[in-house]
Amino acid sequence: MTKQSVTDTAIFAGGCFWCMVEPFDTQPGIIRVESGYTGGHVPNPTYEQVCTEQTGHTEAVKITFDPSKISYAELVEIYWRQTDPTDAMGQFQDRGPSYRPVIFVKDENQRQIALASRTALANSGRFDEPIVTQIEPAKPFYLAEDYHQRFYRKQPARHELELSGGRHQFIAKHWQH
């Protein structure tokens, strides 16, 4: 009899989903990271629809992981280190509601972990501005078009250009010291 492996999921929004895949995809215990849209009111939105800012969706990543190898709390900590948690209306050069930072939680356990982590970050003194990242109940997650999936591998030069629009500098200033 083989032991069935247990998986869990996490959904994070932190600006352009292209920039949010690699930091998770490269961690032990990650089964897959998918780019998509969540939080809106239009079923099965396209990238073009989301870009109009009329669907209510946020670009996000859905992470399927093995909780025996990496915990949800560890994923939340990785998330913080990829975003500017003091900017409510976008991330770096990507502006507007579809790029807002959000931790989408699927249950009370995830909510408690995310809240505790956000409080700890707010109390850490790491940032001069308030932490404004929202914690919201998960809504349906719609996969983005195939060309968005694992973009960092498909288009490394363009991916690096996106990261250099302020994200790299912010991470270096606030997390790499």
The set of catalytic residues is 16
> What does each C-alpha distance from 150 to 68, 136, 159 come to in angstroms?
24, 25, 10
